[in-house]
Amino acid sequence: MLAHPAVALRLVVAHAITGSGLWQVRPEPQRAANETVTASLAGCKAEAAFGKKRREVLALLGSPDQDGVVAGGNGDAFAIAGVFARLLALCDDDVMRVLTLVMAETLAAGSAVIEALGNHLNVDMGAWWQPDAAFFDLLRDKEIANSMLADVRGKLVANGNVAEKVKTQKKIIRDFLAGENGRLRVETWLPRWMKFPAESYTSRGGFRTADQWTQVQPLFVRE
């Protein structure tokens, strides 16, 4: 096998999909804090695009279940052989499509590798996600809400509303984003939390995503 890397690649992908006595790869469970967040994730543009790519890969693998996941098998040896045989019949480009989907499906959400990958690929989250009701429901910090208002419409507006309750400031932000209640619409605003690299709104620390990028960033600095 060592003289046949293309075959080895297909065997690796087959193991990642089905598992074995020595391999165990699980899809990211995408657990959310509550049902509102779950519904938000299910309805977002990125999830729809990912679902389309997943169905294409399932078709390549000849899977009868077009709504299931690709990875996460039970390690059955016959299943590995079946997937391996299917991959041997595919061209290299299609095998790479399968591999890419499996890797994306099994990336651990909230991990440092997400920050590394997003920054390496220069991902524009604004093209795939915009703040919705679920996002604002989770926003309960007055200082952060005021900083977001400054990002959306400037320091003057933020300072003028700094004493307002967080609920009021969130409403003002949403009015600007929607162009409602006499507010000039602001398009394509993205919270600092959702950018690559992620940034904090305060100096209090404890923002895990930004801390993770700080830790791994030196590994990806090019001389």
Q: Kindly state whether residues 96 and 132 are assigned to the same domain.
A: no
Q: Kindly state whether residues 49 and 145 are assigned to the same domain.
A: no
Residue 117 in domain: no
The last residue of a domain, from among 48, 77, 109: 109
Per-residue pLDDT averaged across 187-199, rounded?
93
Q: Do the Cβ atoms of 137 and 36 come closer than 8 Å?
A: yes
97-120 pLDDT, tens digit each: 999 999 999 999 989 999 999 999
Where residue 137 falls among pLDDT bands split at 50, 70, 90? very high
Number of domains in the chain: 2
The last residue of a domain, from among 79, 109, 139: 109
The pLDDT value given to residue 71: 95
Q: Kindly state whether residues 77 and 134 are assigned to the same domain.
A: no
What backbone phi and psi angles, to 5 degrees, belong to 99? -60, -45
Residue 120 in domain: no
Average pLDDT, the chain: 93
Q: How many CB atoms lie within 10 A of CB 86?
A: 19
The pLDDT value given to residue 64: 87
11-32 pLDDT, tens digit each: 999 999 999 999 999 999 988 8
Where residue 195 falls among pLDDT bands split at 50, 70, 90? very high
Share of the chain above pLDDT 70, in %: 99
Q: Kindly state whether residues 92 and 145 are assigned to the same domain.
A: no
Angle formed at CA 179 by CA 175 and CA 183, multiple of 5 degrees = 70
State which residues form the domain around 152: 127-220
Q: Kindly state whether residues 167 and 215 are assigned to the same domain.
A: yes
The pLDDT value given to residue 223: 56
The pLDDT value given to residue 192: 95
